[in-house]
Structure 1
Amino acid sequence: MKKIKRFIAAVVFLLICAPAFAGTIRLSSTIGPVDAGIIPLLADNYKAKTGTEFVIEKAGTGATLEKAKTGNFDLVVVHARALEDRFIAEGYGQNRRDFMYNDFVILGPEGDPAGIKGMKSAAEALKKIAEAKAPFISRGDMSGTHVAEMKVWRAAGISPDAEMDEWYTVFSLGKLGNGPTTIFADKRGAYTLMDRATYLTRRSGIKIVPLVEGDPILLNLIAAIEVSPKRFPKVNNAEAVKFVDWLCGDEAQTIIKDFKVSEYGEPLFFPNSDEWNKKHGK
């Protein structure tokens, strides 16, 4: 009789606490949104609704996608379209969905030795930096930020080489993320290409400032991609799909829209799901 009662009590407990056993999503994310706090906040809000647990690891986009190729993650959050498309084409991922964006800016010392302040073209600004041989810091790690930087250098018709060009430095710890890279550039009094969220969250402790912004080439699209269950049958695709659907819905998109606006006076990220844009006529 005691065994039966314990069994019934255990069943009742499981039924009452069912959300807590809703599963776990293993998420590999680019570093910036994790360090800024938006990914942990979204995960916490979803967990509160569903009981779903999260294991979140962060790395540059290139490293994030390579880690996901092991099948040890269910979902990736990344921001380098060429690398994302290759990841999907090679059969590792599926169902890429945009869900937020911000932009990159070119930061530099207020004295602006290269004279780029206020330029409308990011590519022309990088040309002036190269011509002036002004110090420039790169993450150099095939992260989304590094890929975006190299895209602008290509538009400028320049291929900087850290071994040949003394003014161009690849930060040896760039793989640690945009925050450490920004601090390193600040200490060097150098230029760098950086996402706006990183600048806003670090600006009280640095002297370098945004000098070039607003060029469409600096747009930073952030997407979620499911790791393919066809390639890796053991991934938790069912929970990943539910979470991405929630990310693209009104509740999560509003969280993104309002994230730390009151603290920094401007958005760190903008909602960008198809559902949100359709509803708001974008």
Structure 2
Amino acid sequence: MNAVKVCALAAVIVLSLGVAAARAERGFVMLASTIGPIDAGIVAALEDAFEAETGVRVRHVGAGTGEALKIAQGGEIDLVMVHAKALEEKFVAEGYGTQRIPLMYNDFVIVGPPADPARIRGMKSATQALTILAERAAPFVTRGDKSGTHVAEMELWNKSGVKPSGSWYKVYEKGNEGNGPTLRYTDASGAYTLIDRATYLSLKKEVKLEVLVEGDEALLNRISLIPVDQKRFPRVNAPDATRFVNWLTAPEKGQRIIAGFGVERYGSPLFFPDSVRWHQTNGK
């Protein structure tokens, strides 16, 4: 059974063991989150800090953005944390979510072997780098799972005008397990891939891959919150989900934690605050 199915099944099992009853009362929020922030550790850090301050428990299930939104469409989730704008807008437009709320961002990078046989190192344009990878049939690994990372990758290919195909373009069969396994597989394959910087930094000591292309505006990875609509699913704990959202987006609360997360271990933050209130307060 793949990781996405395990995550979905875990959500069902947890709910059947009493979470459904807990959600009917104040004090419990169920979150469906994209896998990257979970693997980085920031989801647990935010949940724990919120619970310590408010007494409200938050628990999560993890899946790629597309699957996380599908899980939420079952009505057993109060809030989603995802990073694929087109899929998010569709989720809201179809009446499953109330609105997209900016939370934080990091960026994607293109990584590859230190020898960089395709010679893309230092390129400022991600689309140009992808075009060269395709022209030179350099091995490239894709998650291929409609996750936020996969959607971002496909958007870049579309901008480049290239439709990747052929033996050089490898769909990782376990890509839906997340960016961590995908990065390890890419490393073992001596290939290139698009990955979020947080995942790369967290696994940097375990892989030989190096960041070759970075800094392009097109590589920004914005992560949003979407409350599930209580009008559609009466079981949704909208009051506590809203309380959690307000806490996450408050400059002195969740945004402060985001701004400092990873600095001690990596020397720089893994994510950057992106809430409206954060920008209003900090003038950015």
Q: Give the letter for the 1:97 counterpart.
A: I
What is the distance in 2 between the residues matched to 1:39 and 1:55? Answer: 9
1:29 to 26, 33, 36: 33
What is the 5 A alignment of 1:180-195? 180-195=181-196
How far the C-alpha of 1:22 sits from its partner, in A, is 4.6
How far the C-alpha of 1:214 sits from its partner, in A, is 0.6
What is the distance in 1 between the residues matched to 2:267 and 2:135? Answer: 35
What is the distance in 1 between the residues matched to 2:56 and 2:269? Answer: 28
What is the distance in 2 between the residues matched to 1:83 and 1:22? Answer: 29
- Match of residue 167 from structure 1: 168
Is the contact made by 2:47 and 2:59 (CA closer than 8 Å) also made in structure 1? Answer: no
Runs of 4+ in 1 over 2 A off after TM superposition: none
- Match of residue 247 from structure 2: 246
What is the 5 A alignment of 1:1-282? 22-161=26-165, 165-249=166-250, 250-282=252-284
Q: Which has the larger radius of gyration?
A: 1
What is the distance in 1 between the residues matched to 2:42 and 2:94? Answer: 29
What is the distance in 1 between the residues matched to 2:275 and 2:206? Answer: 33
How far the C-alpha of 1:80 sits from its partner, in A, is 0.2
Give secondary structure in 2 for the equivalent of 1:88.
helix
- Match of residue 21 from structure 2: none
What is the distance in 1 between the residues matched to 2:63 and 2:134? Answer: 29
Is the contact made by 1:78 and 1:222 (CA closer than 8 Å) also made in structure 2? Answer: yes
Q: Which runs of 5 or more structure 2 residues have no equivalent in the other structure?
A: 1-24
Q: Give the letter for the 1:28 counterpart.
A: A
Q: Give the letter for the 1:189 counterpart.
A: G
What is the distance in 2 between the residues matched to 1:182 and 1:205? Answer: 10
What is the distance in 2 between the residues matched to 1:160 and 1:172? Answer: 17
Give secondary structure in 2 for the equivalent of 1:93.
coil
Is the contact made by 2:106 and 2:270 (CA closer than 8 Å) also made in structure 1? Answer: yes
Q: TM-score, normalising length from structure 2? A: 0.90
What is the distance in 2 between the residues matched to 1:211 and 1:78? Answer: 26
How far the C-alpha of 1:106 sits from its partner, in A, is 0.2
How far the C-alpha of 1:266 sits from its partner, in A, is 1.4
Q: Give the letter for the 1:251 counterpart.
A: K
What is the distance in 2 between the residues matched to 1:170 and 1:83? Answer: 21
**For each residue in 1:70-127, what CA deviation from the matched residue of structure 2 results, as whole angstroms up to 9, or x when unmatched?**
0010000000000000000000001211110000000001111111000010000000
Is the contact made by 1:30 and 1:58 (CA closer than 8 Å) also made in structure 2? Answer: yes
Q: Which runs of 5 or more structure 1 residues have no equivalent in the other structure?
A: 1-20
Aligned residues: 259
What is the distance in 2 between the residues matched to 1:29 and 1:256? Answer: 16
Is the contact made by 1:43 and 1:54 (CA closer than 8 Å) also made in structure 2? Answer: yes
Is the contact made by 1:80 and 1:148 (CA closer than 8 Å) also made in structure 2? Answer: yes
How far the C-alpha of 1:57 sits from its partner, in A, is 0.2
**Cα RMSD over matched residues?**
0.8
Give secondary structure in 1 for the equivalent of 2:109.
strand
Q: Give the letter for the 1:45 counterpart.
A: A
Q: Give the letter for the 2:225 counterpart.
A: A
What is the distance in 2 between the residues matched to 1:40 and 1:55? Answer: 9
Is the contact made by 1:62 and 1:142 (CA closer than 8 Å) also made in structure 2? Answer: yes
Give secondary structure in 2 for the equivalent of 1:137.
strand
How far the C-alpha of 1:230 sits from its partner, in A, is 1.1
Q: TM-score, normalising length from structure 1? A: 0.91
